[in-house]
Chain A
Amino acid sequence: MHELSIAQNIVEIATQELHQWKGAKVCSISIELGEFSGVVKECLEFAFPEACKGSVLEGCALEVYCVDTVLRCLKCFNVDKAIDSSLLCRKCGSVQVEMIHGKELKITNMEIE
């Protein structure tokens, strides 16, 4: 599964950030995961401890915040959550929608001590 690659990327970014904080230890990492990011929370949580082994992140906690898909209709400007991954405007049925949330795949915070 590609969640292992994703977990390895998280470790790489956290290791870079930690360079400025000599001697610090990472307690937890928080990430945002959009419904349309293509990454599964449970798989990432499973892969993460493996990716951390032997790195500065070994033993740190991973907090995953799932982000629902939110669409803005470009016709009627309605902003609403997408239900069942359906990407049509729930108000007017238009196909011209912009996904304003749901593609998130980012590290938001890192707690160090």
Chain B
Amino acid sequence: MCGDCGCEQANTKYFEEELNKATKTLHLERNILEKNDRIAHQNYHWFEDQRMLALNIMSSPGSGKTSLLEKTLAALNTRYKISVLVGDQQSENDANRLRAFSSAVKQIITHSSCHLDADMIKRELDTYVSPNADVLFIENVGNLVCPAAFDLGESAKIALLSTTEGEDKPIKYPVLFNKASAVLLTKTDLIPYLDWNEEICIQAIRKVNPTAKIIKVSTKTGKGMADWIDYVELLISMKQKQLGCVKHREVHFE
């Protein structure tokens, strides 16, 4: 009994129940993609050490990534050492198409996964992708959503947008288009047959990515391909000159 007021509450363990149920809040502040980002960072430094340009090519399925790479390999494979990794859920179809232009093409079959991640790329570095390559083209799984969330350690992301997809895809899928260093408008040979407005499309890209380089290409007619090839060559030369003219790997081999 309480000595002051005589009630029955004295000495009751008021908070016992609460104490037993006590929860603790742990402040973590941890990046959910930390594992992928850590591996991507390793990949990035591997590419830097080799002075290798790694381009992550992303778009929806059927917007012309493989056709673009066919023409790109044809234009560059006599002057540069090129490796290609192609991601798809199933089939070697794309790799088989590209093998006509380069022997260093590997298909990565992702099965149920809708994107390539940094670990899938890491497994190929120094094994399949030769340290002597000047350029690595990574053709990501055709998808405008998932590949955007996973860094691979690439030097730059390239987004393709075909004229048949309409003008407003960049607004509908802003994350992927926002991260691209360059946006290629593909299938421009079809413009006369489509209700496609170039100005509206460029406005849509600019809205989510005000500074991306925009290149119009048609792999069918070849129009604009020179601009794309010039851009890739500029990126290669920038990468190779980054730490002096002598390539790191040449120093190693001497």
Tell me if chain B binds chain A: yes
Residues on A facing B (Cβ under 8 Å): 1-2, 5-6, 9-10, 12-13, 17, 21, 24, 27, 31, 36-39, 84-88, 95, 97, 105-113
B interface residues (Cβ-Cβ under 8 A, vs A): 21-36, 113-115, 117, 145-146, 148-150, 171, 174-176, 178, 206-211
Given known pairs A9-B35, A109-B28, the reply for A2 and B149 (CB within 8 Å) is yes
A-B pairs, 9 with minimum CB distance: A95-B210, A38-B149, A2-B146, A85-B174, A38-B175, A113-B23, A110-B26, A38-B148, A107-B28
B117 to chain A, nearest CB (A): 8
A72 to chain B, nearest CB (A): 14
CB of B161, distance to nearest CB on chain A (Å): 16
Expressed in whole angstroms, the Cα–Cα distance for A10 and B23 within the complex equals 20
Which secondary structure characterizes the binding site on chain B? mixed
Residue of A nearest to B28 (CB): A107
User: Which of A13, A38, A105 contacts B145 (CB under 8 A)?
Assistant: A38
Known contacts A2-B115, A36-B175, A38-B145, A87 near B210 by CB under 8 Å: yes
- Provide 22 A-B residue pairs closer than 8 Å at the C-beta atoms, listed in order of the A residue: A5-B117, A6-B32, A6-B149, A9-B32, A9-B33, A13-B32, A37-B149, A37-B175, A38-B176, A85-B208, A86-B208, A87-B207, A87-B208, A88-B207, A95-B210, A95-B211, A106-B29, A106-B31, A107-B28, A108-B28, A110-B25, A112-B24
Within the complex, what minimum Cβ distance (angstroms) separates A15 from chain B?
12
Distance between Cα atoms of A79 and B175 in the complex (Å): 20
Which A residues are in CB contact (< 8 Å) with B171? 84-85
Instruction: Tell me if B145 and A2 are in contact (CB < 8 A).
Output: yes
Q: A9-B34, A36-B178 are in contact. List 7 more A-B contacts (CB 8 A).
A: A5-B117, A13-B34, A31-B32, A105-B149, A107-B30, A108-B28, A111-B26
